[in-house]
A and B are shown apart, each in its own frame.
Chain A
Amino acid sequence: MTATVRIPTPLRTVTGGKATVTVDGSTVREVVKNLDAAHPGLGERVLDDNGEVRRFVNVFVDDEDIRFASGLDTPVRDGATVSIIPAVAGG
């Protein structure tokens, strides 16, 4: 399974400026693990010390918030787009 991961601006320092990165993985957990292998340091930006998604990080698989699916165990189909997006305020 190969997914395209969209990298938000604050994390592009870790990806050498790349806005999208292609990695393997059949779940979000695997995608994040492989992202970190390809771009060391990215994992700890997304996950906290307990291995959970940081509370101000939102992850979407094909536009679906993984908190509405199975969290880090959310399946990632071949060719899926995974977006990592900081939480933003509203109004």
Chain B
Amino acid sequence: MVRRDDALTPTGSAFFTSGGEVSYVKGLQCRECGREVDLGAVHVCEFCFGPLEVVYDYDAVARDVTREAIAAGPLSIWRYAPLLPVLPGSDPSQRVDLGAGFTPLVPAPRLGEALGLEDLWLKNDTVNPSFSFKDRVVSVALSAARSLGFDTAACASTGNLAHSVAAHAARAGMRAFVFIPADLEEAKVLATAVYGADVVAVKGSYDDVNRLCAEVAGEHGWAFVNVNVRPYYAEGSKTLGFEIAEQLGWTLPDHVVAPMASGSMLVKIDKAFGELVKVGLVDDKPWKVSGAQASGCAPIATALKDGSGVVKPVRPDTVAKSLAIGDPADGYYALDAVRRTGGWMEDVSDAELVDAIELLARTEGIFGETAAGVTIAVLRKLVAQGRIEPSERTVAVVSGMGLKTLPVVADRVGPTFEITPSLDDFESALTLKEQS
């Protein structure tokens, strides 16, 4: 629970309730045409279909919120509640919270040495409650959904979101429907179903599943975290940026490399840095964001690299299923953020990403899933291309846990030798191993 009384001094135009919950949310606004929309379970502008974004009263946040107040908050994403879509009138006891966020930001000297970076850090989001960064967005989305009166959660997912929605819905006592491509990794399917969610396996790609969900959302009164409550959901990824800055002693890094599926995470990390500057929590300085995709599904990176700036949908073909979104909704905004900050985008083969999973595990003791492999492999590429200078303070986002995608390493690692339970056998095997 956020310690509101300590954390905030009520002033200005922020909204208050009898329970002490504070909201700095002013409403929703279309990112494309600027039309303003009332708060509710609505995700697209009725006029141009552009995505709706939460608007905050930044003046009030700047006036009320201090580094000390945030430091006194919970060790979770909710320490940044003033910059999250806490809806006016919401009951803090109804927040859907498994403790997502405030994950370790660790220096990575051994990986840095392998890649040629002197000041590399890893944001280790494998340790979230359902083992991926999706817990950040889901906690925010379902808290907003509850405030809006929903009792059923739903999502279209490439796996990690399904896992997280199922877990958070269970925590909140909400019913959950999760729609996934039928060919998803078994670990993700089982780890979702175990929470009691209704798992709907759809014979098709993620983009097919997403389209179905857009239509189902129109017919059923459910909170689809990535459809009708998406404006709130997407804001949760900002907490990656907030945490990176706070954990670097309230300074901004020089460069962040993030995986891209829809492109939303990268966009929101960039937005978070901008907000921290705007409300005076960090000093302004240049930062770059760079995006990572798998070559088998790289519509955003391709749009940057071919100079067209047009995100053309693709049919994904990669083992990085958590990034296999062929029609990325935030692709244009990711392009904008990367171009504006001077970052870059790259894509890597499945072989490169699996190599990078092993490299990350062996150098830093962090076992990431395929998306993490994509990020580290792209990081390596960007350094090799000279797009990241060795001295830049660089943060790579490790967004999910490797146990979710074990099959990609199954034919590369395993027992070193198999023996009978005898010391002689062991010594012989060890000698053979040392000689090889």
Contacts and interface: CB of A to CB of B under 8 A. Distances in A.
Interface of A: 6, 8-11, 13, 19, 45, 48, 54-58, 60, 63, 65, 67-68, 83, 85-91
Contact of A55 (B210, B230, B332): B332
A90 B158 contact: yes
A58 B218 contact: no
A13 to B, nearest CB: 7
Contacts of B90: none
Contacts of B313: 65, 67-68
A10 B134 CA distance: 27
B50 interface: yes
Contacts of A19: 218
B436 to A, nearest CB: 43
A65 to B, nearest CB: 6
Given A91-B134, A91-B137, A91-B158, A85 B47 contact: no
A89 to B, nearest CB: 5
Given A56-B51, A86-B43, A88-B156, 7 more contacts: A8-B218, A54-B49, A54-B50, A85-B214, A87-B49, A90-B329, A91-B134
Nearest to A87: B329
Given A8-B214, A58-B327, A65-B327, A88 B49 contact: no
Top 4 nearest A-B pairs by Cβ distance? A91-B161, A9-B218, A90-B262, A86-B44
Q: Which of A56, A60, A63 has the most CB of B within 10 A?
A: A56
Contacts of A48: 48
Contact of A90 (B43, B44, B50, B206): B206
A89 B262 contact: yes
A10 B226 contact: no
Q: Which of B43, B213, B328, B329 has the most CB of A within 10 A?
A: B329
29 contacts: A8-B214, A8-B215, A8-B218, A9-B217, A10-B44, A10-B46, A11-B46, A45-B49, A56-B50, A58-B211, A58-B327, A60-B211, A65-B313, A67-B312, A68-B315, A83-B211, A85-B214, A86-B49, A87-B329, A88-B213, A89-B233, A89-B264, A89-B329, A90-B157, A90-B210, A90-B325, A90-B328, A91-B134, A91-B262
Interface of B: 32, 42-51, 134, 137, 155-158, 160-161, 206-208, 210-211, 213-215, 217-218, 226-227, 230, 233-234, 261-262, 264, 312-313, 315, 322, 325, 327-330, 332
Contacts of A11: 46
A89 B211 contact: no
Contacts of B206: 90
A45 B21 CA distance: 38
A56 B226 contact: no
Given A90-B226, A90-B261, A91-B261, A83 B215 contact: yes
Given A85-B214, A85-B215, A91-B161, A56 B234 contact: no
A85 B134 CA distance: 24
Contacts of A10: 42, 44-46, 49
B23 to A, nearest CB: 23
B262 A57 contact: no
Contacts of A85: 211, 214-215
A56 B44 contact: yes
Contacts of A13: 46
Given A56-B51, A60-B211, A68-B313, A89 B46 contact: no
A91 B49 contact: no
Nearest to B46: A10
Nearest to A68: B313
B158 A45 contact: no
A54 B134 contact: no
Nearest to B44: A86
A9 to B, nearest CB: 4
Nearest to A10: B46
Contacts of A6: 215
